[in-house]
Amino acid sequence: MFLIHVKARNETPLRERDSCIEVFTMGKQGSPRSARPILQNTNSLFRTKDYHIRSSSDSLGASTDPSIGRRILGGDNYWNSKVVLLHGLKDNSGKFTPCKGVYVGKKHTWFGRNVKPIAFILVLMASLFLLDSLMVSIFGSINLQGSSPTIPSDAHEDDNVVSIHEERPAVQMYGRLLKLASMVLAEKEFKQDSLNFWNEPYHQASKWKPCADKKYRTTPGKPDKSNGYIMVSANGGLNQQRVAICNAVAVASLLNATLVLPKFLYSNVWKDPSQFGDIYQEDYFMRILKDDIDIVKELPPHLKPLDIEAMGTLITDADIVKEAKPDDYITSVLPLLLQNRVVHFLGFGNRLGFDPLPPHLQRLRCKCNFHALKFVLKIQKVGSLLIKRIKKYYAAPRQLDKQLLGDFAPGISPKQHNIASGPSRYLALHLRFEEDMVAYSLCDFGGGDYEKKELEAYRDVHFPLLIERLKNSKPVSPVELRKLGRCPLTPEEAALVLAALGFKPETFIYLAGSHIYGGSSRMQPFTSLYPNLVTKETLLTSSELAPFKNFSSQLAALDFIACATSDVFAMTDSGSQLSSLVSGFRTYYGDGHAPTLRPNKKRLAAILSENRTIGWNTFEDRVRKMIEEGQRVQLRGSGRSIYRQPRCPECMCRS
């Protein structure tokens, strides 16, 4: 701390006080935080704002309290700009406060004697203000460039790391609504929390219980003799592979075949060499399904040398229609299986429809997804640690926690209740605003010509088929696309929805990993309303994340756990595989106490189209009605995903 002491000349000894200007500065970044001044006099003349600056090099493993987590924008290591304090504000009695005080009631000659010292103080104050503004402008630019978490150099294609692109000015499409939201949230910050979106609005949800693992007399058992072996090489990321595994279980049962533990294809997009045993517990999977189908880890030795492709039993996605029916497999696949004793499904993405399907096969799918697939202990352990860093207090572990975290499900005894600190609940958000999704949508997101040209260039490289299709079709304007609900929600729109639902600014929000297009400039409207934004990269240390580096599917499993076990889960795209599977898990195991927020993009676009005139109360009412309608307790509709909507007789039982 630097102390500049200025003493006026010829001051009356009885009233003499030294005027003090205290300038507090931080040391270099990463050093211990300097003590903040304790202000006994609340009548300070002025006080500059603290500016929080975080370097990207400190995003992992910085000196912080890991139980709280480091925020994306404005981390725990700060460069506090100078805090200038001048004590000497005049009080109501006509006297100055103690730091510098001279009685000026009737003696006006004092001012004339002290013109020079006063002028010196004013010049000094102006200089300090000028220096402070200069430092803020310099460090402010550093904050934009250095506040993002460290991203592995080879993880740019994964969907589980928050990536920050080159920084640009913050983009706001709804500035007026943002201001209204900010004012309303500020008013509600210290009021009693009457928000009901932390809970399921419909009591009927608690009447549905998991029962896909229940044994029925009508369920056919395993055949006495297997027709052969089914091999599956699943493509995509964690969630696509999960769907492929459970579809393969159903197909193996349909064809009376033995399933070889599925393999995962290596993709230049995902760049993850993980196999089944790296993500899921193999023996547990086989044990849970042993009464339904035979499962082996490898082909028997006498079949391994076979050239499956030459034999004509390699089946790609081109050979099986999307959402195929059981008859398609019986007529086209079963003859090959009986002839060659082995078939190999390559890819196998969404190649089994949901209806019509025999009830026992539908139930087997649910049993696979909700009971048989358990994450390996390594993922469970770090997933549990991740939740503990966000959430400080637990009652008895829920069924949802036990299924996903096993013996690592967190919980504390009532005696520890008063010891625990921090938030007791959090919201998880899956924000789908990646560059590929943004570019493919053909929508306008308010970024001007630069953004338009950048997205056009991306489409030229990554979506040549889309470009060809656009040449031969009638163009649809970005405005019309937005009206139709085909545009991904921006971070700004997501923040406005949460604000309309009444979530307070201090709400802890876990952001499921994704490449946010536009980086922190795009996130700025969101973090201006909700600063407590955390990710697995900011909650876990570099050493804790190290075993998962270069394994995108394993990292995605951590996001799956954080989203599924959250107190509230919010999605911005209901078509996302992660959002679908997470919401299904919460329905199946949530016992009516795991609310999910699903915005209707078409309805939201209509509401936001009135952003220049709509009142906040009207905006709030319309958004709440939209969300509440999406939370209604409904049975799975025909053709709908049983993984996303398990509320049906084949998966769940109504009590």
pLDDT of 578-601, one tens digit each?
999 999 999 999 999 999 999 999
Q: Are 554 and 618 in contact (CB under 8 A)?
A: no
Q: Are 352 and 250 in contact (CB under 8 A)?
A: yes
* Dist. CA 375–CA 282, nearest whole Å: 9
* Dist. CA 223–CA 117, nearest whole Å: 100
* Rg from Cα positions in the chain: 31
Q: Are 397 and 410 in contact (CB under 8 A)?
A: yes
95 backbone φψ class: left, alpha, beta (φ>0; ψ -120 to 50) = beta
* Dist. CA 420–CA 434, nearest whole Å: 37
Dihedral of alpha carbons 177, 181, 182, 187, sign: positive
The token pair that represents 415 in the structure block = 């005696």
* Dist. CA 643–CA 635, nearest whole Å: 13
Q: What are phi and psi of 458, to 5 degrees?
A: -65, -40
Q: Are 390 and 508 in contact (CB under 8 A)?
A: yes
* Dist. CA 247–CA 241, nearest whole Å: 10
The mean pLDDT of 352-365, rounded to a whole number, is 94
- In this predicted structure, what is the pLDDT of residue 224? 86
Percent over 70 (pLDDT), the chain: 72
Q: What is the DSSP letter of 326?
A: H
* Dist. CA 572–CA 588, nearest whole Å: 21
- In this predicted structure, what is the pLDDT of residue 18? 41
The token pair that represents 563 in the structure block = 């989203």
What residues have CB less than 8 Å from 480, skipping those under 6 apart? none
Which residues are registered as beta bridge partners of 316? 346
Q: What is the pTM of this model?
A: 0.75
Work out the number of other CB atoms within 10 angstroms of the CB of residue 485. Answer: 14
Higher pLDDT: 9 or 391? It is 391
The segment with the largest mean pLDDT, out of 63-77, 415-429, 437-451, is 437-451
The mean pLDDT of 308-317, rounded to a whole number, is 93
The mean pLDDT of 596-618, rounded to a whole number, is 97
Which residues are registered as beta bridge partners of 428? 510, 569
- In this predicted structure, what is the pLDDT of residue 394? 59
**pLDDT tens-digit readout, 325-357:** 999 999 999 999 999 999 999 999 889 999 999
In single-letter form, the type of residue at position 462 comes to H
**pLDDT tens-digit readout, 235-252:** 999 999 999 999 999 999
Percent over 90 (pLDDT), the chain: 64
pLDDT band at 603 (very low <50, low <70, confident <90, very high): very high
- In this predicted structure, what is the pLDDT of residue 115? 60
- In this predicted structure, what is the pLDDT of residue 412? 58
398 backbone φψ class: left, alpha, beta (φ>0; ψ -120 to 50) = beta
Q: Is the pLDDT of residue 66 over 50?
A: no
Q: What is the mean pLDDT of the chain?
A: 80
Strands 509-511 and 533-534: parallel
The widest CA-to-CA distance across the chain, in whole angstroms, is 114
The token pair that represents 639 in the structure block = 């053709």
**pLDDT tens-digit readout, 80-115:** 333 333 333 334 434 334 333 333 344 445 445 666
Q: What is the DSSP letter of 370?
A: I
- In this predicted structure, what is the pLDDT of residue 478? 96
- In this predicted structure, what is the pLDDT of residue 552? 93
Domain ranges, ordered by start, for the chain:
175-200+377-412+422-433+488-654, 229-372
**pLDDT tens-digit readout, 201-223:** 898 999 999 999 998 877 787 88
- In this predicted structure, what is the pLDDT of residue 19? 38
Listing DSSP states for 80-141 in one string gives PPPEEEE---B-TTS-B-TTS----SS-THHHHHTHHHHHHHHHHHHHHHHHHHHHHHHHHH
pLDDT band at 169 (very low <50, low <70, confident <90, very high): confident
CB-based contacts of 606-611 (< 8 A; 24+ apart in sequence)? 606/483, 608/174, 608/177, 608/493, 608/496, 609/482, 609/483, 611/173, 611/174, 611/176, 611/177
* Dist. CA 321–CA 58, nearest whole Å: 49
Q: Is the pLDDT of residue 364 over 60?
A: yes
Show the CA angle centred on residue 176, arms to residues 170 and 181, nearest 5°.
Answer: 90
Burial of residue 67 (number of CB atoms within 10 Å: 0-12, 13-18, 19+): middle
> What distance, in Å, lies between the first and last C-alpha atoms of the chain?
67
Please report, for residues 152, 501, 552, 584, the alpha-carbon distance to residue 278 in angstroms, rounded to integers and kept in the order given.
20, 39, 12, 23
- In this predicted structure, what is the pLDDT of residue 106? 41
Higher pLDDT: 156 or 268? It is 268
Peptide bond before 169: cis, by omega within 30 degrees of 0?
A: no
Q: Are 214 and 653 in contact (CB under 8 A)?
A: yes
- In this predicted structure, what is the pLDDT of residue 113? 62
Q: Is the pLDDT of residue 522 over 50?
A: yes
* Dist. CA 18–CA 465, nearest whole Å: 76
Work out the number of other CB atoms within 10 angstroms of the CB of residue 94. Answer: 9
Q: Is the pLDDT of residue 467 over 60?
A: yes
Closest C-alpha among 132, 133, 139, 149 to residue 78: 139
**pLDDT tens-digit readout, 29-59:** 333 333 333 333 333 323 333 333 333 333 3
Q: Is the pLDDT of residue 158 over 60?
A: no
